[in-house]
Amino acid sequence: MPTLESQEVALLDRLDGSNAELPDFTSEVYKDAYSRINAIVIEGEQEAHDNYMSIGTMLPEEAEELKKLGRMELKHMRGFTACGKNLGVAPDMPFAKEFFAPLHGNFQKAMAEGKLTTCFLIQAILIEAFAISAYHVYIRVADPFAKKITEGVVQDEYLHLNYGQEWLKANLATAKEELIAANKVNLPLIRSMLDQVANDASVLHMDREELMEEFMIAYQDSLTEIGLDNREIARMALAAVV
């Protein structure tokens, strides 16, 4: 039986994340990158709250449930605010607002047009899958305080993704066309958000390829769950590359 070369052992360690090298959380370069990443997460959680409340106004029978999700998002926001404080970092909120502006604009437009399917896709699938992928990768390289908070948050994000999946699944017959069209417009925005954050993320020792991989897993799994077939999912995913 062949023995593992030491390099392969190192690779195995990294894949499971347990041996990824931790950054220096006190360095200026770390804090500078963190001021933007932390702001993105705080803004993202705030907007997630607002988006679930908005969806609730269009779905009165689900309003209570959606309020619950919204409250969880505010709790996440407070948790991540504490993470920045703990490191002595002030979040760059204007940067984060600009970062979310295109997606935010599309959500607002869909709301105004009563396009519930588009709203669900943007918030409960794309944004939640983006959050889940980022939080998974971050947990492996976070400071101990932030790691604990993020571990709690990521569990909730699965509930949110699930909630969106269930709604889209139940409404797929009438929603499919809009779902595919909305994906074509909004998946490229997620891709470009990932590109914009990649440099700062790498300072936090978060790898870009790993982020993409985690995102594609969460995204494709959720489309499967909604009831799309492999060919439809492949077509939808291609919107990220073309």
Residues in contact with ligand PL3 by CB under 6 A are 37-38, 40-41, 44-45, 48, 73, 76, 80, 127-128, 130-131, 134-135, 138, 157, 160, 197, 201
Contact by Cβ (8 Å): 87, 80: no
Number of residue whose CB is nearest ligand PL3: 44
- Considering CB distances under 5 to 8 angstroms, the limit depending on partner class, which of Fe ion, ligand PL3, none binds residue 127? ligand PL3
- Considering CB distances under 5 to 8 angstroms, the limit depending on partner class, which of Fe ion, ligand PL3, none binds residue 200? none
Of the candidates 133, 127, 184, 202, the one whose C-alpha atom is nearest the C-alpha of residue 161 is: 127
- Considering CB distances under 5 to 8 angstroms, the limit depending on partner class, which of ligand PL3, Fe ion, none binds residue 236? none
By beta-carbon proximity to ligand PL3, the closer residue of 131 and 223 is 131
**Minimum distance of ligand PL3 from residue 176's CB (angstroms):** 24
- Considering CB distances under 5 to 8 angstroms, the limit depending on partner class, which of Fe ion, ligand PL3, none binds residue 31? none
By beta-carbon proximity to Fe ion, the closer residue of 31 and 121 is 121
CA–chain centroid gap for 17, Å, is 19
* Residue 6 C-beta-side C-alpha neighbours within 13 Å: 0
By beta-carbon proximity to ligand PL3, the closer residue of 32 and 229 is 32
Contact by Cβ (8 Å): 37, 201: yes
**Minimum distance of Fe ion from residue 8's CB (angstroms):** 37
Q: Which pair of structure tokens corresponds to residue 125?
A: 């699938």
- Tokens 């993020």 sit at which residue? 150
Angle (CA) 132-133-138 rounded to 5° is 95
**Minimum distance of ligand PL3 from residue 44's CB (angstroms):** 3
**Minimum distance of ligand PL3 from residue 149's CB (angstroms):** 9
**Minimum distance of Fe ion from residue 38's CB (angstroms):** 14
By beta-carbon proximity to Fe ion, the closer residue of 45 and 210 is 45
- Considering CB distances under 5 to 8 angstroms, the limit depending on partner class, which of Fe ion, ligand PL3, none binds residue 214? none
Q: What is the DSSP string of 126-146?
A: IIHHHHHHHHHHHHTTS-HHH
Angle (CA) 75-100-172 rounded to 5° is 80
DSSP conformation class of 26: T
Gap between the Cα atoms of 12 and 14, Å rounded: 5
Burial class (CB in 10 A: 0-12, 13-18, 19+), 84: buried
By beta-carbon proximity to ligand PL3, the closer residue of 45 and 210 is 45
**Minimum distance of ligand PL3 from residue 198's CB (angstroms):** 9
By beta-carbon proximity to Fe ion, the closer residue of 111 and 127 is 127
In the chain, what's the furthest Cα-to-Cα distance?
Answer: 64
